[in-house]
Structure 1
Amino acid sequence: MRRWSLLARFAGLPRLAQLLLLTQLAFNLGFYLVVPFLAVHLADDLAMAGWAVGIVLGARTFSQQGLFVVGGALADRFGTRPVVLAGCAVRVAGFVVLALAPTFPVVLAGAMLTGFAGALFSPAVEAALADEGTRLERHGTITRSELFGLFAICGELGAVTGPLLGAALLRVDFWLTCLVAAAAFTAILFGHHRLLPALPPRSFGEPILAGWGDVLRNRMFLAFALGYSAYLVSYNQLYLALPVELQRATGGQEALGWMFALASVLIVVCQLPLAAWARTRLGAARALPLGFGLLATAFVTVSATAPADPPPGVFALAPAIALVTFVTFGQMLAVPVAQDMVARLAGEQRLGSYFGFLSSAGGFAVLAGSTGVGALLDRARTPTPDAALPWIVLAMLPAVGGLLLWLVARRGPPPRHEDNDDP
C-alpha cells in the first residue's frame, strides 16, 4: 500500500512537478473559497434579481471555459511562466473587485476577471505538466498519466477544502472571503515568480493564431475532442441531474453534500492505482471506452429505478450513490489516459493550444448539453413511466463518446513502448 501513498509519491517527485501539483491544489482552494457562495451573495447581500445572478454566473463560466483556447495559445506563444503569473494577477484583481463591488456592472466585471484568469493559467499549467510528465516518464520516475492522476487528486483536495474554509469565512462577510482568496492567489503569484522556471515558449515568433490553425487541421484530435466532450457533459450532471434524482428519491437535497464527499473520497483513495492500472494493463484503446462505459452505466442504473416509487429509508439513496460512484470511477479511469493522449495527438507540440481547445470545446458542449438535458429532466422529478427518458439520453452521450475515443485510440499515433493498446 505504501506504493500508492499520496505523500510518498509526491515526495519522490522533483521540485517542478511538486510545484505544478501544488498549483492545482492552491488554485482550486482559492477558487472554491468564493465561487460556490457567489450566487448567495448576489441574491441576499446585493438583492439582485434572478436574471442578473444568472448573467453573472454565466459570464464567469464563459470567460473561463470559452477562453481557455486563448490562454493556451498565449502560453505557446509567450511561455508558461508569464501566462501563469498574469493569470494569478488577474484573479487577484477579480477577487478584490468582487469584494468591493456595489453594483451589477462592477460585479459582472469582477466575475469575468476571475473567469479569464482561469483561462490564462489552467491550459499553461496543464501543458507544463504534460512536458514534465514526458521527462519524468523517460527517466522512469512516474508515467505521465499517473502524474495527471496526482494532478486530479490535488485539485480535488483544493475543491473540498475551499468550500469548507469559505463557509467559515462567510459567517463574517463575503468581502472577507474574497480578500482571503485574493491573498492566497497573491502568495501563489509570488511563489511562482520565484520558483517557476522561465522555459522557452513552444512557438516563439509565430502568430498566436498559428496554434489554432494547427489544432483545426488535426482531424484526429478534433474527433477526440468531440468524444471527450461527452465526459464533461456527463460529469456536469453531478451538479444538474443528481439534485433532481435526490429530490425524486428523498423529497429533498439534504444528502447532496454527502454525495460530493463520496466522490472526493473515491478520487483521493483510488485515483493513483486506477491510473496506473489503466496505463500498464489496459492502454488507451481499452481504458477510454471502459471509463466511458462506466459513465453510461451510471445513467442506465438510475433509468432503471426512476419510473418506480423510491424504497423507504436510506435505500432510496441507492441510485444516487450508484450514479456518483460510476461517474467518479469512469472519470478516474478515462481522464488521466485522455490527458496523456492529448499530448500524443498534438505531437508533443503547442500543448497550450491543444489543452485550451479541449477545455473550450468541453465548455461549449456542457452549455449546449445542459440546456437540452435541463429541459428533459423535468420528466425525472416524479416517478412516472417516462421518467427514465432523460437518463437514457444521458447514457447515450458517453456511450457514443466512448466509441469515438476507441476509434481514435486505435487509429491515432503509435503508443510509446510501455503502452499496451493491443486489442
Structure 2
Amino acid sequence: MAEPAPGAPGLRAALLPLTGPLRFLLLSSFLIPLGSFMVLPFMSVFLHERLGMGLGTVGVVLAAASLVQFSGGLFGGALADRVGLRRTMLWALTVRTAGFLGLLLALRWPSLAVGALVLTCCGAALYLPANKAYLVHGVDDERRPAFLSAGNAALNAGMAVGPLIAGPFVLSAPGWLFASATGLFLAVTVGHARLPDAGGGAPSDEDAPRPGILAGVVALPFAANALAFYLYFHFQHFLAVYAVERASGTFYSLVLLLCFALVIVVQPLASGLIRRMPYGLALTLGFLGMAAGLAVLAAGTRTAILAGAALITLGDIVLFLKNDLEALRRSPRSDAVVFGQQRLAAGLGACASGVLGGQLYGFGERVGNTGSFWLLAAAQCLLLPPVLLTLRRRAARHPRHDDHEGALTPR
C-alpha cells in the first residue's frame, strides 16, 4: 500500500480525534439513509401496486420529489446560515419524521401519500447541507476530504442495507415498514437535540442587507457538479430497465451493491489524493471514467454491466468530492450555503437528465437499440467537459468585477 504523501495525513490520522458528537453524526449518516432506503426505492411499486396510481402519475410524482430533494438543499443551506446547523438539522428531521408518519397513515387514507412523500424530500433537502457543514466545522482544509468521504461512506452504507432489509416487506407488510422508519427517525431526531451548537445562526444587523441564497456561487464547481449529475443520472435513472431486461432484478441489486461498496471503500481511502489533485486533472479523470463506463454498458452483457457500473462509480467518486471541495475552497459563503448551492446544481443536472435522457432512451427502445443510448451518453462525457473548461478559461481572462477573488482562476 502506498504511503501518504509528506504533509498529507492518512485517513485514520485525519479523522482523529473523533469527538462524541461527530461519531453520532456519522452514525446518523448511516441510520438516516438506512431508514429512507427501506422505503423510498420502492415508492414506485407502493404508489402503483398498493395505492393504484397510474405509472404516468407515479413518474411525475417521483420526478417532482427528486427535484425537491436535491434543489431544496439551496434553502437548507440558507436556513442553516440563519438559524444554525443543529437547529436546522432538528427541523429537517422533524419534517422528515412527519413525512414517514404520513406514509404510514396513507395506508388508511391514500390521499396523504403524495404530500407525505414530498415532506420526506423536504426534510432531506433541509438536512444534508447542515449535516455536511457540521461534519467539517472547525476542521482544517487537509482533513476535510476525510470527514466528507467518511460521511459519504456512511450514507452509501445505509443506502445499500436499507433495500435489503425492506425488500420482502414492501407489499406484504408496508405498515410495519413505515412504522419502523418513523420510529428510527424519531430516535435520531431526539439524538440530534443533544448535539452542541456548531456554526451558523450568527446574529446579524437587521439593517444590513443579507446576501441572496445564490450570492457567492462559484461558477465552475457549480457547473461541473450540474454536468456530472446530469451524466450520472443517465445511469441512475435508466440502468434498472436496461439491466433487468437483460438479466434480472436480483442482478440489478448486485450492481447497486457493487456501486455502494466502491464508494464506501474507495472514496475515504482516496480522499487525500483527490484533495491534492489539480482541479483540471480531477475533472478530466472523472469524466473519462464515466465515459468509459457508459460506453462499456452498451455491450449489454452481465460482465459489461458490472464493469461499466464500476467505472462510472469510480469517475463519480472523484467528481462529486472534488467539486464540493473546490466550491468550499473558492466561495466566500458559509459551508452550509455552499453545500446547498452544490445540491441545487445536482438537482438541476438530475432533472435535465430525466427529461432529456427519458426521451433518448425511449427512442432507443422504439428502434430496438438501447445500447446506442449509452454510447450517446459516453460521447457527451467527452464533448461537454471541454466546452465547460473553454468557458472557464474565457471567464478567467475576462473576470467580472464582483467575482470572488480566485473563483475562476485555473489551477
Which bin holds the TM-score, normalised by the shorter protein? 0.7 to 0.9
Is 1:165 aligned with 2:165? yes
Q: 1:346 aligns with which of 327, 331, 356?
A: 331
Q: 2:102 aligns with which of 97, 102, 109?
A: 97
- Once the two structures are superposed, the pairs formed by residues 215-230 of structure 1 within 5 Å of their partners are 215=216, 218=217, 221-230=218-227
Tell me which amino acid in the other structure corresponds to 1:125: N
Q: Any idea what the Cα deviations from partners look like across 1:213-259, whole Å, max 9, x if unmatched?
A: 523xx4xx1332122112112222333232344356x3655421111
Deviating more after overlay: 103-112 vs 250-259: 250-259
After TM superposition, give the deviation of residue 28 of structure 1 in Å.
Answer: 0.8
Q: 2:284 aligns with which of 280, 289, 300?
A: 289
For 1:353 and 1:405, how far apart are their aligned partners in 2?
25
Aligned residue in 1 for 2:401: none
Tell me which amino acid in the other structure corresponds to 1:398: C
| Gap change, CA 1:345 and 1:372, over 3 Å in 2 | same
Deviating more after overlay: 100-109 vs 89-98: 100-109
Aligned residue in 2 for 1:275: 271
| Gap change, CA 1:107 and 1:339, over 3 Å in 2 | same
Deviating more after overlay: 83-92 vs 391-400: 391-400
Q: 1:74 aligns with which of 79, 84, 87?
A: 79
For 1:212 and 1:113, how far apart are their aligned partners in 2?
22
| Gap change, CA 1:159 and 1:225, over 3 Å in 2 | same
Q: 2:233 aligns with which of 228, 236, 244?
A: 236
Tell me which amino acid in the other structure corresponds to 1:113: L
For 2:339 and 2:384, how far apart are their aligned partners in 1?
18
> Residues 344 and 413 of structure 1 are in contact (CA less than 8 Å); yes or no, is this contact kept in structure 2?
no
Aligned residue in 2 for 1:418: none
For 2:182 and 2:12, how far apart are their aligned partners in 1?
28
Deviating more after overlay: 24-33 vs 229-238: 229-238
> Residues 244 and 377 of structure 1 are in contact (CA less than 8 Å); yes or no, is this contact kept in structure 2?
no
Deviating more after overlay: 86-95 vs 293-302: 293-302
What are the ranges of 5 or more consecutive residues in structure 2 without an aligned counterpart? 5-9, 397-403
Is 1:365 aligned with 2:354? no
Deviating more after overlay: 40-49 vs 260-269: 40-49
Instruction: Report the structure, 1 or 2, having the larger helix content.
Output: 1
Is 1:190 aligned with 2:190? yes
- Once the two structures are superposed, the pairs formed by residues 42-81 of structure 1 within 5 Å of their partners are 42-81=47-86
Q: Any idea what the Cα deviations from partners look like across 1:317-365, whole Å, max 9, x if unmatched?
A: 2321222011111111222222111111213x23322221221232122
Q: Any idea what the Cα deviations from partners look like across 1:140-195, whole Å, max 9, x if unmatched?
A: xx621222111111111110111122225447521221111111111111111112
Tell me which amino acid in the other structure corresponds to 2:128: S
After TM superposition, give the deviation of residue 88 of structure 1 in Å.
Answer: 0.6
| Gap change, CA 1:391 and 1:291, over 3 Å in 2 | same
Aligned residue in 2 for 1:391: 374
Tell me which amino acid in the other structure corresponds to 1:90: V
**Over aligned residue pairs, what C-alpha RMSD do you find?**
3.2
After TM superposition, give the deviation of residue 284 of structure 1 in Å.
Answer: 2.5
For 2:113 and 2:171, how far apart are their aligned partners in 1?
21
For 1:278 and 1:194, how far apart are their aligned partners in 2?
34
SS of 1:363 mapped into structure 2:
helix
After TM superposition, give the deviation of residue 408 of structure 1 in Å.
Answer: 5.3
TM-score, structure 2 normalization: 0.84
| Gap change, CA 1:352 and 1:204, over 3 Å in 2 | farther
Tell me which amino acid in the other structure corresponds to 2:341: F
Tell me which amino acid in the other structure corresponds to 1:186: L
Tell me which amino acid in the other structure corresponds to 2:312: V
Aligned residue in 2 for 1:375: 359
| Gap change, CA 1:131 and 1:82, over 3 Å in 2 | same
After TM superposition, give the deviation of residue 208 of structure 1 in Å.
Answer: 9.6
After TM superposition, give the deviation of residue 46 of structure 1 in Å.
Answer: 2.1
For 1:290 and 1:271, how far apart are their aligned partners in 2?
15
Aligned residue in 2 for 1:214: 215
Q: Any idea what the Cα deviations from partners look like across 1:3-51, whole Å, max 9, x if unmatched?
A: 9998887664233433332232122111111112222222222222323
Is 1:112 aligned with 2:108? no
> Residues 60 and 111 of structure 1 are in contact (CA less than 8 Å); yes or no, is this contact kept in structure 2?
yes
For 2:164 and 2:11, how far apart are their aligned partners in 1?
22
For 2:344 and 2:118, how far apart are their aligned partners in 1?
16
For 1:199 and 1:393, how far apart are their aligned partners in 2?
44
Aligned residue in 1 for 2:399: none
- Once the two structures are superposed, the pairs formed by residues 12-23 of structure 1 within 5 Å of their partners are 12-23=17-28
Is 1:201 aligned with 2:201? yes
SS of 2:220 mapped into structure 1:
helix
> Residues 63 and 115 of structure 1 are in contact (CA less than 8 Å); yes or no, is this contact kept in structure 2?
yes
After TM superposition, give the deviation of residue 294 of structure 1 in Å.
Answer: 0.8
